[in-house]
Amino acid sequence: MFKIFQYFSLIITILGILIGIYIYYRHSQRKDFDLTPRDKTGEEIDEIDEEDNPALAPVYEDDELYDTWVRWENFLKEAGIIEIKDGMIEYETGDNSRLFVGLAEMQQSNPYLKTDEELAQENVYKEVFFNGVQQPIKISTQSQRVEMTDFLNELKSSAMRTPGATPQMKDYASKVLDATLKYQNQTDRFENRAYLQFIAIIKPDEVFGDTAEVLEKQIHEKAAEKLMRQVANADGILRRADHPIALLDTFGLLEVLYKTFNRESSVKTRFEDIIRSQRFQIYTSAWQSSKHFKEVQQKIQIEKEAKERARDILQEQQDKKNEELLAQGKDYYSDTSVESKSNENTNENNQKEDLFDFSNM
């Protein structure tokens, strides 16, 4: 009996050693994505030694206090995010692969406005969708402030250009829309947004190229293709359940992150206005007073109105020039290239007649 126990202990010890060796081997094999240039057969391509690119040299700031800031890039790095590009978020894996995440917004429907048969049909389509999922998928929701700024600004611009409207009518419409915008900023009205997160994993044997740049391009194209295929398949099913989805681009991803970490201030200073005005220095993630946000918003609005007024003035000047040309009997809307070409042909014919004038012979 004692010998059997010794034999059994020996077997367990050997198995433990083998398992430890296997775990150590797996950890030793963990490495980043292999960007070694390869051809279609998988053979490595010899690289030509080149000088270091000076554009890749590190940039040092003169201000020493700048290094003490907690940068947004450091936060993304701690979260495992490598970069946000081409409408995808790339995460670190450490297992010789590349992981890309795509975010798709899902439209919602009101279940209280549907009958029992419609709700049952919606649940059937959802069940079909979840049963057909092959890759890990995540559904998340985000509570966002109700945003109608673009619609109201477009409506205001359209009201100012309505033909036949009197100045009093335009002034009244402007006051009503401005009051609506003010009410939107002062009222806490939220709505839930639903997002689906799809993933795409790229292995080294799925891409090939003669340079690292070509490999990087193929990796992103392959990941985008996989994500688009998943989104298209999901949209084909969920659309029948009144939940169509649309893949967000890079701007959409950044806007979701901006609203996530700036829930209140994202309404006062919108991400779209920051990008459109190209004034990134006016924004900071630190707390700012309402006066500062209002001043920034006024500056953006002043620039926008100045551009619109300049466009109207230039258009009026151009219309006057066109009327003057028409009064002189000139055709300003004809093709100038055709006119110039016909003038050149006329000049050439006149020159030929001067050269070959046989009237005096």
The kind and range of the H/E element at 245 are strand 245-247
The pLDDT confidence band at residue 226, using thresholds 50, 70 and 90, is very high
d(CA 70, CA 89): 21
Taking 70 as the threshold, does the pLDDT of residue 265 lie above it?
Answer: no
Task: Count CB-CB contacts under 10 A for residue 200.
Answer: 21
Q: Where are the alpha helices (DSSP H) in 29-148?
A: 72-78, 116-131
The predicted pLDDT at position 160 comes to 84
DSSP count for the chain of H helices, then E strands: 11, 6
Taking 80 as the threshold, does the pLDDT of residue 344 lie above it?
Answer: no
**What angle in degrees, to the nearest 10, is found between the helix axes of 212-238 and 116-131?**
150
The predicted pLDDT at position 28 comes to 67
Is the distance from CB of 218 to CB of 209 less than 8 angstroms? yes
Three-state DSSP at 105 gives strand
* Domain range list for the chain: 31-43+68-293
pLDDT tens profile 3-60: 777 777 888 888 888 888 878 777 666 656 667 777 667 777 665 544 455 554 554 4
Is the distance from CB of 233 to CB of 102 less than 8 angstroms? no
Q: Specify the higher pLDDT residue, 77 or 71.
A: 77
| CA angle (52 as vertex; 48, 57 as ends), nearest 5 | 155
Going by C-beta distance under 8 Å and a sequence separation of 6 or more, which residues neighbour residue 260? 142
The predicted pLDDT at position 50 comes to 46
Tokens describing residue 82: 């490598």
The predicted pLDDT at position 248 comes to 92
The pLDDT confidence band at residue 333, using thresholds 50, 70 and 90, is low
DSSP-assigned letter for residue 182: H
106 class by beta-carbon count within 10 Å (0-12 exposed, 13-18 middle, 19+ buried): middle
Going by C-beta distance under 8 Å and a sequence separation of 6 or more, which residues neighbour residue 37? 44, 45, 47, 209, 210, 211, 212, 214, 215
Is the distance from CB of 46 to CB of 36 less than 8 angstroms? no
The predicted pLDDT at position 285 comes to 55
DSSP for 267-326 reads HHS-HHHHHHHT-GGG--SS---HHHHHHHHHHHHHHHHHHHHHHHHHHHHHHHHHHHHH
Three-state DSSP at 218 gives helix
Q: Specify the higher pLDDT residue, 304 or 335.
A: 304
Q: Of the ranges 66-75, 296-305, 315-324, which one carries the lowest mean pLDDT score?
A: 66-75
The predicted pLDDT at position 33 comes to 66
Tokens describing residue 321: 């020039």
Taking 60 as the threshold, does the pLDDT of residue 190 lie above it?
Answer: yes
Q: Could you tell me which residues are beta bridge partners of residue 44? A: 38
Taking 70 as the threshold, does the pLDDT of residue 274 lie above it?
Answer: no
d(CA 309, CA 241): 47
d(CA 102, CA 244): 16
pLDDT tens profile 121-150: 999 999 999 888 888 899 988 887 777 777
Q: Specify the higher pLDDT residue, 268 or 82.
A: 82
pLDDT tens profile 206-225: 888 888 888 899 999 999 99
pLDDT tens profile 13-23: 888 888 888 78
